[in-house]
Amino acid sequence: MTSHKVQQGLVLGMSTLAFTVCFMVWMMFAILGVPIKDLLQLNETQFGLLVATPVLTGSLIRLPLGMLTDKFGGRIVFFVLMLVCVLPIYFISHATLYWHFLVLGLFVGMAGGSFSVGIAYVAKWFDKKNQGFAMGIFGAGNAGAAVTKFVAPAIIAASSWQMVPKVYSAIMFITAVLFWFFTSEEKGHRVSTSVTMTQQLQALKDPAVWRYCQYYSIVFGGYVALSLWMTKYYVNEYGFSLQTAAFLAAAFSLPGGVLRAIGGWMSDKWGAQSVTWWVMWVSWICLFILSYPQTDFTIATVTGPQTFHIGLNAYVFTALLFVMGVAFAFGKASVFKYISDEYPENMGVVSGIVGLAGGLGGFVLPIMFGALVDITGIRSSAFMLMYGVVWVSLIWMYLSEVRKIPMMGKGSASPLSSSTN
């Protein structure tokens, strides 16, 4: 009989591996989208829609998957989800038209829903004082975005872009099989069968849940959006090759994933509110600087006109992205520490709602990035938009958690708590 600690370790390790692979697949178009854009002659808005399409289904499916996880357990839901994604991933290699990629992207995007399954599955295997760290380790699977930036360009350079979905479909299938054989399930982790869907959805009436949705829309939604956008940004803004651009873009994606465990430990030690507060301020400062476009201006001087240039070079730009990636990693962990503290019996539903909001941010933002570039011609407009979103989060957090204005707070008895606890 396997000991509980060994089961804990296997559940955490295999769930993290599975989530990493799912995130690799979910972010696949961040690399594939570049050659597809050239092949189909897409504009910036069309490219934004292409890379964001998988994020849409990965977001919308998070809430129902979270509810299924609460009802039936994370092991079976995670396993079936991975198997369902295998064929759509493979068929991308045979797509030729724009609508082919969009439709297949919707099916492939289901892999992104794995987060709400895994986070609830893992959290219930650990006690409260260690949940933040455990969820942080699981959430480090976000580093799959960085793995794609290393693996996919290498596959394209060695063969062609069509080989990437073929390899990824094989990896997904193997991971699903390994996950099933090395993980366990405890029926005690499921919610009571007497709890109805209506009772589960009472969480939507809780203002605290909406506040956490706003936070997560930037620390996760922004992370997904920039992970999808930065490779092409480096190519167009600084003239790098696809391989070099993907490598530099990983300076944001990699810390944004692997450091999430540290964010979980920090949230366990200092509390979710303190960590989230500083994450927002660091992100605000970085985005303020990143928002400044490449600028040439001429000044009339006593010796004649003098032209000056102001703008971030690739090194400073990458350093700021790295810092923001670290902040987002800590923020993703701290938001879910809020949830595990306040909704321990309903992790699947609440994490599904918050994950859905974050994923929708990751869907909407790339499309808006492309539209802003098409309208303004300014590539840094993407960071201007995110700067505004962070401002909203800071103001909301200040009013509800620092000033503790009652109408913005979570209250002493949320609708969810009163109906299920």
Please report, in tens digits, the pLDDT of each residue of the chain (421 residues total): 567 788 888 999 999 999 999 999 988 988 898 899 888 998 888 988 898 889 888 888 888 888 888 778 888 999 999 999 999 999 999 999 999 999 999 999 999 889 888 888 888 888 777 777 888 788 888 788 888 988 999 999 898 899 999 999 999 999 999 999 998 877 665 555 555 566 656 666 777 888 888 898 899 889 888 988 888 899 888 989 888 988 898 888 888 777 877 888 888 888 888 899 999 999 999 999 999 888 888 898 888 898 888 888 999 999 999 999 999 989 988 888 888 787 776 766 787 788 788 888 888 898 899 899 889 999 999 999 999 989 988 888 888 877 776 544 444 334 444 344 3
Domain range spanning residue 331? Answer: 7-183+194-415
Question: Cα 375 vs. chain centroid, distance in angstroms?
Answer: 26
Q: Using DSSP, how many helices (H) and how many strands (E) does the chain show?
A: 20, 2
Closest Cα partner for 290 from 237, 254, 243, 333? 237
pLDDT value for 260: 78
Phi, psi dihedral angles at 301 (to 5 degrees): -110, 175
Q: Structure pTM?
A: 0.73
Would residue 161 count as lying in a domain?
A: yes
pLDDT value for 409: 42
306 DSSP β-pair partners: 299
**How far apart (Å, rounded) are the C-alpha atoms in residues 253 and 325?**
7
Cβ contact 93:167 at 8 Å: no
**How far apart (Å, rounded) are the C-alpha atoms in residues 119 and 340?**
10
- Burial class of residue 55, CB neighbours in 10 A (0-12, 13-18, 19+): buried
297 DSSP β-pair partners: 308
**How far apart (Å, rounded) are the C-alpha atoms in residues 194 and 367?**
41
Closest Cα partner for 175 from 125, 210, 139, 141? 141
CATH number of the structural domain spanning residue 92 = 1.20.1250.20
Virtual torsion, Cα 69, 82, 23, 218, nearest 10 deg? -30
Would residue 243 count as lying in a domain?
A: yes
pLDDT value for 187: 67
What sections of 220-313 are H helices per DSSP? 221-238, 242-258, 260-270, 272-290
310 DSSP β-pair partners: 295
Would residue 421 count as lying in a domain?
A: no
**How far apart (Å, rounded) are the C-alpha atoms in residues 343 and 124?**
12
pLDDT value for 190: 59
Who's near 192: CB < 8 A, 6+ residues apart? Answer: none
Q: Residue type at 368? A: M
Q: Could you give the count of Cα atoms lying within 13 Å of 304 in the half-sphere of its Cβ?
A: 0
CB neighbours (10 Å) of residue 160?
Answer: 12
User: What's the total number of domains in the chain?
Assistant: 1
Closest Cα partner for 39 from 55, 27, 53, 50? 50
DSSP string, 352-412: HHHHHHHHHHHHHHHHHHHHHHHHH--TTHHHHHHHHHHHHHHHHHIIIIIS--GGGS--S
Would residue 2 count as lying in a domain?
A: no
Would residue 153 count as lying in a domain?
A: yes
Would residue 251 count as lying in a domain?
A: yes
**How far apart (Å, rounded) are the C-alpha atoms in residues 416 and 421?**
8
CB neighbours (10 Å) of residue 17?
Answer: 16
C-alpha angle 410-191-135 in degrees, rounded to nearest 5: 65
Report in angstroms the alpha-carbon separations of 60 from 139, 229, 255, 292.
19, 21, 26, 33
pLDDT value for 407: 47
Would residue 351 count as lying in a domain?
A: yes
Sign of CA dihedral 66, 68, 74, 76: negative
Would residue 119 count as lying in a domain?
A: yes
Cβ contact 229:369 at 8 Å: yes
